[in-house]
Amino acid sequence: MLSSIRSDLAIVKERDPAARNVLEILLCYPGVHALTIHRISNKLWRSNFPLMPMKLLARVLSQLSRSLTGVEIHPGARIGSGVFIDHGMGVVIGETAEIGNRCLLYQGVTLGGTGKEHGKRHPTLEENVVVGAGAKVLGAIRVGENTRIGAGSVLVRDVEADSTVVGIPGRVIHQSGVRVNPLAHSALPDAEANVIRNLMERIDQLESEIRVFKNCLKNGVENKNPEDMLANKAQNLKDKEILEFLGDKPNQ
C-alpha cells in the first residue's frame, strides 16, 4: 500500500504543474486524500477478520472520506498505482469498478453501474486512461489502455486501446497506436462540428447546382455545360449563428 501511495504522489508531481512539492500535495490535494483513505478501506473490505463487521467499517470510512474530499469511492473498487484524481469534487467510483495504473480522472467523473443485478456491473479502465471532467462511464464495460474520454461524454460500450471518445453517447472518433499527451484536452476533435460543416458544404453544393439548372431552364441556355456555371456558392447558408458554432468567422 505504501508503494501505491508513493506512486500516487509521484504522478501528481509529474502531471500537475501547480504541484510544487510533496508537502503541498499531501496537504492540499483531495484526490490524494481520497485514494489514500480508499486503500485503507479496501484492505478492510477484503479482510476476513471474524470478530468485527469489517465491511461496515470500510463503508463508514469511505463515507467519511466522501464528506472530507467530495470524492465517493466504494471500498470494493480496485484501483491501481499512480492514479491521479485531479481536483476530485463530484467523482463517483462504484463497487466493482477497476482502474488500472496511471489513469487520470478529472472532477465530476462517474464510473457507475447499470441495472440491479449482482456481480460485475461497473466499468474497467485499463492503464493510462484519461477521463475528462464530467464524463460518465456506465456499465460493465472495458476501456482499453491509452484511451482518452472527452469531457462531458457518456460512454456505455467497450472501447479498444489507443482511442479517443467524445459525445453522448460516446463515439470513437480516433484510434491509432500513437501515444498521446494525457493533458492535451484541447487536441480533442469536435465531431459534431465536423459533421455539420460537411453537411453545410454538401447542401451548399446542391443549392448551387439547382440554381444553375433553374437558370438554364428559365433562360433557355443551350450548348453550355452547367458545371462551368457553378463558380459561385449559394448564400443562404451563411448564417452567423451556425458559423459561430463551427468556430468560423462570418463574412462581414
So where are the chain's domains?
2-187, 191-246
**Mean pLDDT: which of 8-12, 19-23, 130-134, 208-212 is highest?**
130-134
Nearest partner of 130 among 120, 144, 141, judged by Cα? 144
CA 233 vs CA 56, 193, 204, 217: distances in Å: 69, 20, 6, 19
Going by pLDDT thresholds of 50, 70 and 90, the confidence category of residue 237 is very low
Nearest partner of 106 among 124, 127, 123, 84, judged by Cα? 84
- What region does 139 belong to: left with phi over 0, alpha with psi -120 to 50, or beta? left
User: What pLDDT, on the 0 to 100 scale, is given for residue 235?
Assistant: 46
d(CA 26, CA 30): 9
Amino acid at 182: P
Q: Are strands 148-149 and 171-175 parallel, antiparallel or unpaired?
A: unpaired
Going by pLDDT thresholds of 50, 70 and 90, the confidence category of residue 21 is confident
Least confident of 137-151, 153-167, 191-205: 191-205
User: What pLDDT, on the 0 to 100 scale, is given for residue 245?
Assistant: 53
Assigned C-alpha cell, 117 = 443485478
Choosing among 2.20.28.120, 2.160.10.10, 2.40.30.10, 3.20.20.70, the CATH entry for 2-187 is 2.160.10.10
User: What pLDDT, on the 0 to 100 scale, is given for residue 118?
Assistant: 80
Q: Are strands 171-175 and 163-166 parallel, antiparallel or unpaired?
A: antiparallel
| DSSP helix, strand, coil percent of the chain (3-state; round to 5) | 40, 15, 45
Least confident of 19-33, 52-66, 75-89, 188-202: 188-202
pLDDT of 209 > 90? The answer is no
Nearest partner of 30 among 1, 2, 72, 71, judged by Cα? 71
Going by pLDDT thresholds of 50, 70 and 90, the confidence category of residue 239 is low
- Within 10 angstroms of residue 240's Cβ, the number of other Cβ atoms is 9
User: What pLDDT, on the 0 to 100 scale, is given for residue 167?
Assistant: 81
User: What pLDDT, on the 0 to 100 scale, is given for residue 247?
Assistant: 55
Higher pLDDT, 92 or 179: 92
Going by pLDDT thresholds of 50, 70 and 90, the confidence category of residue 230 is low
